[in-house]
Chain A
């Protein structure tokens, strides 16, 4: 019985011009999005590989110079872009692709693609994930609004009910049929999106892909439930359509923007001038604090039983450079810790808003599973900072230990000892605790969507005779 209803539902879709048009449009959109994303990823890969090679070449070829001068000359840490960024770029375009690992400064990432796109760039974020998160719900509403309301209007719902079909069988059959219809639109899109992101080198790529499929499935179950429920409750299909388009407009277009606006209003991120000043203060904290400088000098001379720095068995200048670095570390940690706390507070507001807008929960989970959200970027930033500290210490130690003579320089021999930055993005399992809330909210939506559809159909059954 259920399969008969599901098959009929699906056959109806296949003969519905609107469905076929929307499926074709969705497919075209996904192919376009996947192609754009794949092309973007290829560009990232190519440019990163070229930049890394140039960076190494320039670094090694900088000639003889003071190691601290080399530490200022510095190197770049290039962020490895996960293949799944082709599916969901997350914050990739906004968080920066490279980080300058210079002495004294823990710089924020630079080369933000969003900055290079110009005014029209704000329309350029078409990705498979965006298409599934925002466009697909509207498409699904457009194909499902008539599921019950249309049948009620044309009288077939009453006829089906008169055939001895239980409301449970009708609901499950309709849901299964709608699921087939939704899968016909969404599954190829999802597969295309994931294929564009395939070839993943990430060790937990399969976990992430399964997670993405589960998350998007829950999302579309919720959307299907809402669509069927509204269709079952609406007296006319026109009413169902208007209601669903209104839900889409509010929950999928307006609320996400409102939530983001509210989040940054309640918990503003410092402006770039403030950020620059705060970073500058942290980096020069040692040099602007005469008391600390004097104390270090006294302590060092005492430790080595020397009267003046020239009597120390090492280059005191190199020693203070390293000491000033380490003096700044907690200040940088506090600075970035506060930025992280602000971002967390903003995410808290968005998580609250996701209780009325499922796309917000999915958006966070999808970017997390794709390895392109803030947490993954923070892991890159942390790894780059660790590497910066290693490089700077290596150079400062060379200066300290070998640079006692004035005009000390080192050359390619030392530069070659400086390792390239290598970063293995965190495994999803290591960060999974951060996504539990979003996953639960999404799961709640799926259960709620089905429950709503069941409730609505129960009501609809009572209405059939009227």
Chain B
């Protein structure tokens, strides 16, 4: 569903993303772990068409993002670290607006249902978003993603700053989306949440995908250890649980 092929982005002399090969299938959550500047957000921006790739290509459901930016965006839902809402509109009105931008029209009752399904308290759906906590805004973001019926989701640090309860709610929502057959690519710093919801976990460093782990084969502690090893440089190279089919070509060669 989401595919990166030799995807590269440079800013002047700086290579923000280097030859990324990645595939996120329907019904799968791939989490990207990495320090700031590792290339996670650049990857998401390239899938969103906010950046032009310097080399390679990103595909959404078979369509190349650079060639069909508007069309591919319509197949995507995006939840940033801070879901931005119009403060003067209610949650329901925000949801309605973003859906209508995507060509989706829902009734007022449907909008309220969607928000409550995403975990927003019913009484908050018609309050102005200026009074929302970050967790509530993230839930509206999930509702937008759900209602848009997007086939793939891109999440950029969506759990950052959420209280444990809100993070749990959001993770539950994401699992439901995965179970619904959506492909989800999530950038995060949170190893434990990545383990909790991820099907696979990619570790990025200096613009390169240096490892891809099977989340079900490792416990959170092992994943954290491997991640820290990679960050310290001690673990550069694929782990024993590295999956076939990802991070091949140059990444694989470099890692070997």
Residues of B within 8 A of A155 (CB): 80, 82-84
CB closest chain-A residue, reference B137: A155
Q: Are B80 and A163 in contact (CB under 8 A)?
A: no
Q: Are B76 and A162 in contact (CB under 8 A)?
A: yes
Interface assignment of A16: CB less than 8 Å from any CB of chain B:
yes
CB-CB contacts below 8 Å: B36-88 with A:
45, 48, 50-51, 70-74, 76, 78, 80, 82-88
User: Interface code A180-222, partner B: CB below 8 Å = 1, 0 otherwise?
Assistant: 0000000000000000000000000000000000000000000
User: Which segment, of B94-102, B161-169, B234-242, B244-252, faces chain A?
Assistant: B94-102
Interface assignment of A4: CB less than 8 Å from any CB of chain B:
yes
Q: Are B70 and A164 in contact (CB under 8 A)?
A: yes
The total of chain B residues at the interface (CB under 8 A) is: 27
Q: Are B70 and A158 in contact (CB under 8 A)?
A: no
Of B78, B80, B85, B97, most buried by chain A (CB within 10 Å of CB) is B97
Interface assignment of A135: CB less than 8 Å from any CB of chain B:
no
- Cα distance, A158 to B73, chains bound together (Å): 12
Interface assignment of A227: CB less than 8 Å from any CB of chain B:
no
- Cα distance, A162 to B45, chains bound together (Å): 10
- Cα distance, A164 to B47, chains bound together (Å): 12
Q: Are A156 and B45 in contact (CB under 8 A)?
A: no
The listed residue (A12, A15, A160) touching B101 by CB distance below 8 A is: A160
- Cα distance, A464 to B100, chains bound together (Å): 21
- Cα distance, A161 to B87, chains bound together (Å): 18
Interface assignment of A43: CB less than 8 Å from any CB of chain B:
no
Residues of A within 8 A of B1 (CB): none
Q: Are B85 and A156 in contact (CB under 8 A)?
A: yes
- Cα distance, A20 to B80, chains bound together (Å): 32
- Cα distance, A449 to B72, chains bound together (Å): 32
A159-B87 contact given A1-B101, A465-B45, A465-B50, CB 8 Å threshold: no
Interface assignment of A8: CB less than 8 Å from any CB of chain B:
yes
Interface assignment of B89: CB less than 8 Å from any CB of chain A:
yes
Residues of A within 8 A of B88 (CB): 11-12, 15-16
Q: Are B50 and A164 in contact (CB under 8 A)?
A: no
Q: Are A164 and B84 in contact (CB under 8 A)?
A: no
A154-B50 contact given A160-B101, A164-B101, CB 8 Å threshold: no
The listed residue (A15, A154, A163, A465) touching B98 by CB distance below 8 A is: A163
CB-CB contacts below 8 Å: A1-30 with B:
1, 4-5, 8, 11-12, 15-16
The 5 A-B pairs at the shortest CB distance, nearest first, are namely: A155-B84, A465-B50, A164-B73, A164-B74, A163-B101
Q: List 27 A-B contacts (CB under 8 A).
A: A1-B101, A4-B97, A5-B101, A8-B89, A11-B89, A11-B93, A12-B88, A12-B89, A15-B89, A154-B86, A154-B87, A155-B80, A155-B83, A155-B84, A156-B85, A159-B78, A159-B98, A160-B98, A161-B48, A161-B73, A163-B98, A163-B101, A164-B70, A164-B72, A164-B76, A164-B102, A464-B50
Query: Which residues of B come within 8 Å of A, CB atoms?
Result: 45, 48, 50-51, 70-74, 76, 78, 80, 82-89, 93, 97-98, 100-103
